[in-house]
Chains A and B, each alone.
Chain A
Amino acid sequence: MNQTLVGARPLLRAALKQDARTIAPWIVLITALSASSVLAYAWVFPDTHSRAQLAATLGVNPALSLIFGPARDLLTADGFNAWRAGALGGFFSALMAIFIVVRNSRADEDSGQAELLASGVMGRQTRLAVAMLMAVLASIVLGLASWLVTVAFGGGWMNSLALSATFTAAGLMFTGVAGISAQLGSDARTANSIAVATLGVAFVVRGYIDASQSAAWVVWLTPLGWLEEVRPATGNNGWPLLLACALTAVLAAVALALHARRDFGLGMVAPRRGPARGTTVASVWGLALRINRGPLISWLVAFAGLGTVFGFLATSVGDVFASNPTMGGLIAGGATTQTGLLFEFLITILRLVGIIAAVFGVQIVMRIYAEEIDYRVEPLLAAALSRARYLASNAVIAFAAPALGLLVAGTIIGLIAHTGEPDLPVTDVIGQAAATIPAVWAIIALALAAVGANPRTRLAGWLAVIATFALTILGPLFRLWNWILGISPLWHVPNVTTTSPDFSGLTAVAGVTLALTAIAFAGFRHRDVI
Chain B
Amino acid sequence: MNRSNPAPSRQRAPGDDGGAVIQVEGLVKSFGSFRALDGLDLTVTPGEVHGFLGPNGAGKSTTIRVLLGLLKPNAGRVRLLGGDPWRDVVSLHRRLAYVPGDVTLWPGMTGGEAIDLLGNLRGGLNETRRQDLIDRFELDPTKRGRQYSKGNRQKVALVAALASDVELLILDEPTSGLDPLMEAIFQEEIATVKTQGRSVLLSSHILSEAEALADRISIIRAGRVVETGTLDQLRHRTRTTIRATLDNPPATLDSLRFVHDARLQDRTFTGTVETSQLSAAMAELSQHTITALTVAPPSLEELFLRQYGTDTTVEAARRTTGGAA
A interface list, Cβ under 8 A from B: 187, 265, 271, 273-284, 286-287, 290-291, 294, 374-376, 378-387, 526-529
Contact status A384-B121, CB under 8 Å:
yes
Complex CA distance for A276 and B68, rounded to whole angstroms: 28
Given A384-B90, A384-B123, A526-B72, A275-B117 contact (CB < 8 Å): no
Q: Does B110 contact A (CB under 8 A)?
A: yes
In addition to A277-B116, A383-B118, 8 A-B residue pairs with Cβ atoms within 8 Å of each other are: A265-B146, A274-B143, A279-B116, A376-B104, A380-B118, A384-B91, A384-B93, A528-B71
A189 to chain B, nearest CB (A): 9
| Proximity bits, B141-157, A CB within 8 Å = 1, else 0 | 11110110000000001
Of B89, B104, B141, chain A has the most CB atoms within 10 Å of the CB of B89
Complex CA distance for A286 and B109, rounded to whole angstroms: 12
Segment at the A interface, from B6-14, B94-102, B258-266: B94-102
List 15 contacting pairs A-B, 8 Å CB cutoff, sorted by A: A187-B107, A265-B146, A274-B109, A274-B113, A277-B112, A278-B113, A282-B117, A283-B121, A290-B109, A376-B105, A378-B68, A382-B93, A382-B100, A383-B98, A384-B93
Q: Does B5 contact A (CB under 8 A)?
A: no
Please name the residue on chain A nearest to B110 by beta carbon: A274
Given A375-B104, A382-B98, A274-B142 contact (CB < 8 Å): yes
A302 to chain B, nearest CB (A): 20
Contact status A271-B118, CB under 8 Å:
no
A527 to chain B, nearest CB (A): 8
Contact of A278 among B70, B94, B117, B170 (CB under 8 A): B117
Contact status B120-A283, CB under 8 Å:
yes
Complex CA distance for A375 and B157, rounded to whole angstroms: 13
Q: Does B229 contact A (CB under 8 A)?
A: no
Contact status B70-A291, CB under 8 Å:
no
For residue A274, which residues in chain B have a CB less than 8 angstroms away from its CB? 109-110, 112-113, 142-144
Q: Does B177 contact A (CB under 8 A)?
A: no
Please name the residue on chain B nearest to A291 by beta carbon: B106
For residue A271, which residues in chain B have a CB less than 8 angstroms away from its CB? 144, 146-147
Q: Does B69 contact A (CB under 8 A)?
A: yes
Closest 7 CB pairs of A and B: A278-B116, A383-B121, A274-B110, A278-B113, A382-B98, A276-B112, A384-B94
| Proximity bits, B110-137, A CB within 8 Å = 1, else 0 | 1011111110111100000000000000
Contact status A375-B121, CB under 8 Å:
no
Contact status B123-A376, CB under 8 Å:
no
How many residue-residue contacts, CB under 8 A, span A and B?
A: 115
B51 to chain A, nearest CB (A): 20
Contact status A381-B69, CB under 8 Å:
yes
For residue B72, which residues in chain A have a CB less than 8 angstroms away from its CB? 526-528
For residue A187, which residues in chain B have a CB less than 8 angstroms away from its CB? 107, 146
Given A275-B112, A384-B90, A526-B72, A379-B118 contact (CB < 8 Å): yes
For residue A382, which residues in chain B have a CB less than 8 angstroms away from its CB? 68, 70, 93, 96-98, 100, 170
Q: Does B108 contact A (CB under 8 A)?
A: yes
Contact status A387-B89, CB under 8 Å:
yes
For residue B116, which residues in chain A have a CB less than 8 angstroms away from its CB? 277-279, 281-282
Contact status B117-A287, CB under 8 Å:
yes
For residue B70, which residues in chain A have a CB less than 8 angstroms away from its CB? 378, 381-382, 528-529
Contact status B100-A375, CB under 8 Å:
yes
B57 to chain A, nearest CB (A): 16
Contact status A281-B100, CB under 8 Å:
no
Complex CA distance for A273 and B118, rounded to whole angstroms: 20
A356 to chain B, nearest CB (A): 25
Given A282-B117, A283-B120, A273-B143 contact (CB < 8 Å): yes
Contact status B121-A278, CB under 8 Å:
no
Complex CA distance for A385 and B118, rounded to whole angstroms: 10
A297 to chain B, nearest CB (A): 13
A262 to chain B, nearest CB (A): 15
Contact status A375-B122, CB under 8 Å:
no
B140 to chain A, nearest CB (A): 9
Contact status A383-B106, CB under 8 Å:
no
Contact status B142-A385, CB under 8 Å:
no
Contact status B141-A276, CB under 8 Å:
yes
Complex CA distance for A281 and B113, rounded to whole angstroms: 7
Contact status B106-A290, CB under 8 Å:
yes
Contact status A379-B98, CB under 8 Å:
yes
For residue B110, which residues in chain A have a CB less than 8 angstroms away from its CB? 273-276
Complex CA distance for A380 and B121, rounded to whole angstroms: 7
Please name the residue on chain A nearest to B120 by beta carbon: A282
Interface residues of B in 257-301 (CB under 8 A from A): none
Contact of B142 among A273, A280, A529 (CB under 8 A): A273
Complex CA distance for A290 and B106, rounded to whole angstroms: 10
For residue A374, which residues in chain B have a CB less than 8 angstroms away from its CB? 104
